[in-house]
Amino acid sequence: MLLTDLRRYLSRTGFYPNRNLGQNFLINPSIASKIAAEIPGQGGVLEIGPGFGSLTEKLLMRSESLSVVEISGRMASFLQRRFSDERLSVIRADFLKVDPSELPGYPFMTVVGNLPYYISSSILFRMIEPGFRHVQKAVLMLQREVAIRLSTLDGGKDYGKLSLQIWPIFTIEDLIDVSAEDFYPVPRVLSRVVVLNRRSKPLIPEEMYGRFRRIVKVSFAMRRKTIFNNLKPLFGKDLTLEILEMSDVDPSLRAEQLPPERFIRMAEAMP
């Protein structure tokens, strides 16, 4: 939807974007086209937060079936009126609470979305839940600093819980940077579209993944503390030292100084 069309609709209906819901609508059709071009063209597609349908329009050109989850009843009704296509299912729901297996078109091969920035990490973590195990690709618009944290695996301030928990399941590819002027209203942050591609084989066995996530979360609980001081309240002094020794981890290091593989080693060493 172009800005002129969007403003005309807003003026006619008296509807205004809700910043509390992260409603910054994409108005650049070329960006929407580039995102849609990543869709494989086969299998079900799920769009998160379609808003007024700028991306929905492009996705319908490439999708066998498209389900969109929109939290706003008013916008869900608008989408149903705007698009008359039997391949499209509009679901009014909170994506963070919805059971994907109950949505039309399940199981989904692809997930797409211009994510509300304040819940983008929570949405990313949904991609590693069992209900989304069929998803092979996710093409997502994120706040640029979140996208950087998602793809950082070489240490430093941007490296942490987000990238490490996604890393065993998906590879991350930066697709395109998006300016603030490509949205209405104009946000105060810059954006980036990233592509998550499911690995052919997870780097961690499914039965060990829960332990891996636990060790990652605890290790980064207090970033300025050493790995030993973060793990000690959970395991006690002696067991913590044993786990670190078995994992070839220096107790004086901080979590952000450890490569991803060391967290796998620690998860394997957990009792």
Give residue limits of the domains in the chain: 3-198, 206-269
Tell me the pTM.
Answer: 0.93
Q: What is the pLDDT of residues 159-214, one digit of tens each?
A: 999 999 999 999 999 999 999 999 988 888 999 999 999 999 999 999 999 999 99
Q: Assess whether the region 3-198 and the region 206-269 belong to the same CATH fold.
A: no
Q: What residues contact 54, with CB distance under 8 A and at least 6 apart?
A: 1, 25, 26, 27, 29, 32
Distance CA 106, CA 100 (A): 7
Q: What is the pLDDT of residues 17-33, one digit of tens each?
A: 776 667 788 999 999 99
Distance CA 55, CA 232 (A): 48
Q: What is the pLDDT of residues 234-248, one digit of tens each?
A: 999 999 999 999 999
The highest-level CATH class for domain 3-198 is: alpha beta
Decide yes or no: CATH 3.60.9.10 for domain 206-269. no
